[in-house]
Structure 1
């Protein structure tokens, strides 16, 4: 697989978030604010074309972005799609091709880093489904640990 540094950067920002948690409020406001400032932002509801293979399109969009903003919400880890995005984002960050900024939306960074509360429950469900020692689960846990350790913005109200 080609390094993402060889790819054209089509997006300024990629937004990773759990749709049912945030799409109609926080993400809508963030996307609008970025758009009004001329920041070309990938958001799945705007950029995915009907008929696209979702997983491949999301992974390509991450590779083609300069910045990723991961909005960690209470149910983020319950989504295997979100965890795949987080793993890909952190992989691209490690390659030096992507800047990553986490937003901790009504969750503490430590809850993400060392799964606690809703993150612990979500990871237990994934362990049951994929197996405790699955490579997928190991990638997801590493991504959460690494991303949860980044300096970011806590957002508890508003």
Structure 2
């Protein structure tokens, strides 16, 4: 499990260094884990418990505590936090795709996966990975709205679709409708 490897290789909450390639061998990560999630869906339940567990294990975890107001752009500080994280954990929930901010985060995370060899771990929380992969059910509804809202930015919408397909094909965790205790 990635988190066990992180916690055993880091002392307290120090940053991790990668030794897997020359491009990242000297990189000093500020955060061990970046959490990407839809706040209204999981901020006060699953993501809060995950964050607390990671912190208890001494894993330096970035969680954005600010709710972005509708129409605002993703902040440069948030993009920087993604770049400075060794691992990104993406918690896909029913309303994840309804947030253009979450989708912009996702695109940035996948860019970091390609350019910085960031580890990406998808968590499918009460959604089936195929819903994410093929943009069905709530993901399909969200994209119908995005296509209407961003008629003049269809390239951006297609980037989001591609990112969802790519990440849903990665190995991750499907949590279904199980209940989790703190």
TM over 0.5: yes
> Which structure carries more helix by proportion?
1
- How many residues are aligned here? 149
Deviations 1:97-142 (A, max 9, x none): 2000000001111110110000000011000011276221111111
Q: Tell me, yes or no, if the aligned pair for 1:15 and 1:43 is still in contact at 8 Å.
A: yes
TM superposition outliers: structure 1 runs of 4+ over 6 Å: none
- Higher gyration radius (CA): 2
Q: Tell me, yes or no, if the aligned pair for 2:33 and 2:87 is still in contact at 8 Å.
A: yes
CA RMSD of aligned residues (A): 2.0
What TM-score does the superposition give when structure 2 sets the normalisation length? 0.77
Deviations 1:78-101 (A, max 9, x none): 001100001111111122420000
Structure 1: gaps spanning 5 or more residues: 47-52
User: Is it true that 1:97 corresponds to 2:117 in the alignment?
Assistant: yes
User: Is it true that 1:76 corresponds to 2:129 in the alignment?
Assistant: no
User: Is it true that 1:31 corresponds to 2:51 in the alignment?
Assistant: yes
Q: Tell me, yes or no, if the aligned pair for 1:103 and 1:154 is still in contact at 8 Å.
A: yes
Query: Which has the higher relative contact order, 1 or 2, with Cα contacts under 8 A spaced 6 or more apart?
Result: 1
In the alignment, which residue of structure 2 is the partner of 1:127? 147
Distance 2:44 2:54 in 1: 16
Structure 2: gaps spanning 5 or more residues: 1-22, 67-72
Distance 1:16 1:7 in 2: 22
In the alignment, which residue of structure 2 is the partner of 1:21? 41
